[in-house]
Amino acid sequence: MRRWIVAGLMCCLALPAMAEPLKQLASFAGVRNNQLAGYGLVVGLDGTGDQTTQTPFTVQSIINMLTNMGIQVPAGGNLQLKNVAAVTVTATLPPFARPGQPIDVVVSSIGNARSLRGGALLMAPLKGADGQIYAMAQGNLVVAGAGAAAAGTSVQVNQLATGLIPGGATVERAVPTLLGNGEFVQLELLQTDFSTASRVVNAINSQIGAVATALDGRVIQVRAPQDPNQRVAFLARLETIDVIPAPVNPKVIINARTGSVVMNQAVTVDACAIAHGNLTVTIIADNQVAQPNAVVGGRPKRVQNAEVDIETGKGPIVKLPKATSLNQVVRALNSVGATPQDLLAILQAMKAAGALNAVLEVI
């Protein structure tokens, strides 16, 4: 089954460039998410928590929590906390979030807990990169998995050491978000491209007036009203402006570990000839035991015999015609009949010979 080798490519026609709303090509400077992280304890587990002999930080966290609540734990006590797990709590603080707004949190085990199913997160502070607390998280976990174990046999579906608490955190501190500096706002393209930046400026100025200026291949400065209400309406209008982005650069991305190949629609191939063959190496080990002479005496010895055979497959020379569309490129590469592992070497050779008109990127 060699026909599927390149079938995993993005098979689509080289369609003409279509206009896209500006909000799909750029974002406003300063309007961004902020990552939050914290540490907490999940309690109420059904014996699937941390093994405290191997996770001393869980015991230390429980002792600190109980001490803060006025409960004195006897020194040297052997705490068996099978229903408790130490976890990390992460969340994304959206732009313009205000105190009291709920946000989702992800809870992940950092110990050796077998499952967080049925657990509840105790109040955990979530901090930003500056060390300040921006949200507090607490609630019951939703684990998208199931597991069962009996008599040494276990069955598990999906990941049980990670759970979600929808709306499980409450924002306690707002992050100031400034929409521009003074009379200007800045648009930042999602991908740096001078041609697209120029087209965005032309599209804005043709519909609104001479208010946009490109600072470089990514940032576009736009004069906007200073009244907050008028500025919001102005930015909403900017987002709906249709822009035809510049043609993308031809690129081929290859995952060397899995053999996956992805091409965009701009990839083309010049006429070339390819000779492809397979190389097979076979090693056969035939280990024996040599018995000593009964008269002389001695001990048996191992004798290792190995046979190595190399087979080279003869591949015909295949002439590839010039391919100017993605469908033609896929058909041309399928005609070579290479395996996914061989496709990487073929594309590299085509690139070196100048027959592949694309940037080859291996990840």
How far is residue 103 CA from its own chain's centroid? 22
How is residue 174 written in tokens? Answer: 């707002």
3, 191, 325, 352, 359 from 332: Cα distances, Å = 11, 31, 11, 18, 18
Distance CA 321, CA 205 (A): 45
Using one digit for the tens of pLDDT, what is the confidence trace for 279-303? 455 556 566 666 676 666 667 776 6
Position 100 scores a pLDDT of 95
Using one digit for the tens of pLDDT, what is the confidence trace for 69-93? 888 887 766 777 889 999 999 999 9
The whole-number average pLDDT for the span 128-153 is: 82
Whether the predicted pLDDT of 149 surpasses 50: yes
Q: Can you list the alpha helix ranges (DSSP code H) found in 87-242?
A: 194-207, 228-239
201 or 354, which is more confident = 201
Sort 130 into a burial class: Cβ within 10 Å, 0-12 / 13-18 / 19+: exposed
Secondary structure tally for the chain: helices H, strands E: 5, 23
Position 6 scores a pLDDT of 41
- The model's confidence at residue 110, banded by pLDDT at 50, 70 and 90, is very high
Tally Cβ neighbours within 10 Å of residue 57: 13
Q: What's the whole-model pTM score? A: 0.67
| Residue from 180, 182, 187 nearest 204 by CA | 187
User: In this structure, are strands 146-150 and 153-157 parallel, antiparallel, or unpaired?
Assistant: antiparallel
Position 169 scores a pLDDT of 96
User: In this structure, are strands 184-189 and 153-157 parallel, antiparallel, or unpaired?
Assistant: unpaired
Distance CA 328, CA 160 (A): 45
Sort 316 into a burial class: Cβ within 10 Å, 0-12 / 13-18 / 19+: exposed
How is residue 74 written in tokens? Answer: 């006897």
User: For the chain, how far is it from start to end, CA to CA, in angstroms?
Assistant: 26
